[in-house]
Amino acid sequence: MSKFFSGLLGLRRGPWEMLATILIALGVFMLMQPFALVAYTYSFIVTLVGTVMFIIVSHFRE
């Protein structure tokens, strides 16, 4: 876990890509879940942030 956080602080691609992947997956889940309309409302912004982050961090060094 500490390796993950030090990777984030050191702007390493692996942990940041992982974070972006989690955000995208969370956004897609929020979009399609049947439990809360408010989660559906904020799903797009979460997916968008995850996707943009993924594009940016894929240029970080390994």
Q: Tell me which residues touch other proteins (CB under 8 A).
A: 17, 20-21, 24-25, 27-28, 31-34, 37, 40-44, 47-48, 50-51, 54-55
Nearest-approach distance from CB 36 to other proteins, in angstroms: 10
Q: How far is CA 58 from the centre of its chain?
A: 12
CB 12 within 8 A of CB 57: no
d(CA 21, CA 38): 22
Question: Angle at CA 24, nearest 5°, toward 22 and 27?
Answer: 105
CB of 1 to other proteins, least distance (A): 21
Q: What is the closest distance, in whole angstroms, from the C-beta atom of residue 48 to other proteins in the complex?
A: 5
Closer residue to other proteins (CB): 12 or 51: 51
